[in-house]
Amino acid sequence: MRKSFVAVLISFVAISCKNVQEVAPFGTVPTPQQVEWQKMEYNMFMHFGPNTFTGVEWGSGQEKEELFNPTAMDCSQWTQIAKAAGMKGVIITAKHHDGFCLWPNPVSNHTVAQSPWRDGKGDVLKDLSEACREDGLGFGIYISPWDRNDPHYGTDEYNDVFVKTLEHALGSYGHVFEQWFDRACGEGPNGKQQVYDWPLFNSTVHKMQPDAVIFSDYGPGCRWVGNESGSAGRTCWSTINVNEDFTGPVQSRKDLNEGIRGGDTWAAAETDVSIRPGWFWRESENSKVKSLQHLLKIYYESVGRNSVLLLNVPADTRGLIHEVDSLRLMELRAALDEIFSVDLAAGGKVIADNVRGKSRRFKALNILDGDYDSYWATDDSVTTASFAVELPEARTFNRVQLQEYIPLGQRVSAFSIEAQGEDGTWRTIAKETTIGYKRIVHVPVTTATSIRVNIEESEACPVINGFALYMDSIYTLETTLPIDQ
Ligand code: FUL
């Protein structure tokens, strides 16, 4: 009797699994490389070059190569700090607007090879790419097309020089996870501006490094977040609209900050911000390194808002990250570890009002299993749905983390969160818009036995792969707006 019941159950499950359709991707979706890039979450930006020695932000291009002479250059120090900070990659200014190349670029006379550093035999890109490999970090390259030194700048020839520059930098140091294009376009030594050939530049990157995600103001791989203060939009779509030739239309800062719902290109926001007031190191700013509270705010408003954080930590004239900065990074790491080490939703039960095809494959409990590729999904016809997490006991938290399974597109455009107190009453603790890869919602300190997430509006059936609750007792600069605002 028992045996036949089990057999019937097994065949029922088998039939139901077989018949339930996969969730079809919705709209514009990321490439696998863009998904991996987003999973990195937190990377180091490294501004280093002649400006480090002159104390200016934009060099004129007339700086003498002799200036560049770090006294204790050690890229392993950078990568060890980045790794200990929990960062996953490092992106270096291989060439800033002043045109000086941190590697011996054969098509330039303004490089480390002309400097006294290591008798002209040094190569920062070589050292850093090796240190990144050693420490298991991604290696990324910033190259500014604006060049205030190159005599060809402002003529057609320059685009070819720039392509050769790209080919050399991207072809000599192994895998590059991100190519960072600064779109600044000022005047060169002859007083002329350059007309950049973006399709040619982008195709060169794709040819040299097929897996590299290309950053620029509007992609094509990832986009600028629209400010340098470290804040993605509270609403943040990973899509924008871009012309095929990537010359525009120039997106408004608001569109860059919030993305465009239903946009034609997947280009998630990257939040680049400096740990100091300037991008380059200068002694006078050793006392102005951002506070732990400020960095936590930046973390919540970038990683917590569907963006990747690219935190600039510039090396000093020794060629080392200064002690003040590294100490602050370790404080941030310790705080993040403390906040996110205990998931208070662990061990909970999850019930949803709709499960795709009533299939176990798409069951609501998938949101708690820690497996990125398993998710809760509803039937295609359902775009308004709720799930409730019943906690093993009453628990106190002030952060609710949600994740959408972005390989299938970004869908949710409005959701609310309710909590059931120990007296049994439910109250709304948050009303928000987008989720994306990761959303960390700030809620008032709440003690609850159950939490309910209501997907109130979604472009297609919701697909949620992560849910967690945390208690942050460290961050004091609360930014939560009152509900309904
Ligand atoms: C800007 C540049 O002009 C700054 O110097 C800095 O490199 C920043 C990250 O991008 O466009």
Q: Does residue 184's CB lie within 6 angstroms of at least one atom of ligand 1?
A: yes
Q: How confident is residue 478, by pLDDT bands cut at 50, 70 and 90?
A: confident
- pLDDT score recorded for residue 231: 97
HSE, CB side, 13 Å, CA atoms: give it for residue 368.
18
Q: Does residue 98's CB lie within 6 angstroms of at least one atom of ligand 1?
A: no
Q: 277 C-alpha to center of ligand 1: Å? A: 12
Q: 182 C-alpha to center of ligand 1: Å? A: 7
More confident residue, 320 or 7: 320
Which atom of ligand 1 is least distant from the CA of 57? Answer: 5
299 with 359: CB under 8 angstroms?
A: no
Which atom of ligand 1 is least distant from the CA of 274? Answer: 9
Q: 442 C-alpha to center of ligand 1: Å? A: 31
Average pLDDT over residues 369-382: 98
Average pLDDT over residues 198-215: 97
Average pLDDT over residues 445-465: 98
Which atom of ligand 1 is least distant from the CA of 184? Answer: 11
- pLDDT score recorded for residue 191: 87
Q: Does residue 301's CB lie within 6 angstroms of at least one atom of ligand 1?
A: no
Q: In Å, what is the CA distance from 400 to each residue of 202, 230, 395, 447?
A: 38, 21, 12, 13
Strand, coil or helix: 15? helix
**pLDDT tens column, 9-39:** 554 444 445 578 999 999 999 999 999 999 9
**pLDDT tens column, 165-204:** 999 999 999 999 999 998 788 888 888 899 999 999 999 9
| pLDDT of 326 strictly over 50 | yes
| pLDDT of 428 strictly over 90 | yes
Q: Does residue 280's CB lie within 6 angstroms of at least one atom of ligand 1?
A: no
- pLDDT score recorded for residue 10: 52
| pLDDT of 312 strictly over 90 | yes
Q: How confident is residue 485, by pLDDT bands cut at 50, 70 and 90?
A: very low
More confident residue, 190 or 64: 64
Other CB atoms within a 10 A radius of the CB of residue 395 amount to 19
User: pTM of the entire structure?
Assistant: 0.95
Residue type, 56: V
Q: Does residue 217's CB lie within 6 angstroms of at least one atom of ligand 1?
A: no
Q: How confident is residue 218, by pLDDT bands cut at 50, 70 and 90?
A: confident
Q: 157 C-alpha to center of ligand 1: Å? A: 24
| pLDDT of 145 strictly over 90 | yes
| pLDDT of 156 strictly over 60 | yes
Q: Does residue 279's CB lie within 6 angstroms of at least one atom of ligand 1?
A: yes
| pLDDT of 5 strictly over 60 | no
Task: Look over the chain and give the mean of its residue pLDDT values, rounded to a whole number.
Answer: 94
Other CB atoms within a 10 A radius of the CB of residue 72 amount to 10
- pLDDT score recorded for residue 188: 86
**Exposure string over 335-369, b if 16+ CB within 10 A, otherwise e:** bbeebeeebbbeebebebebbbbebebbbbbbbbe
- pLDDT score recorded for residue 15: 46
Q: 216 C-alpha to center of ligand 1: Å? A: 11
Q: 47 C-alpha to center of ligand 1: Å? A: 9
Question: Which of 98-102, 247-251, 360-364, 378-382 is predicted least confidently?
Answer: 247-251
How far apart CA 52 and CA 69 sit, in angstroms, is 10
User: Which helix (DSSP H) or strand (DSSP E) does residue 11 occupy?
Assistant: helix 2-19
Name the residue of 60, 95, 182, 196 to mutate for ligand 1: max ligand atoms within 8 A of Cβ.
Answer: 182
% of the chain with per-residue pLDDT over 70: 93
Q: Does residue 57's CB lie within 6 angstroms of at least one atom of ligand 1?
A: yes
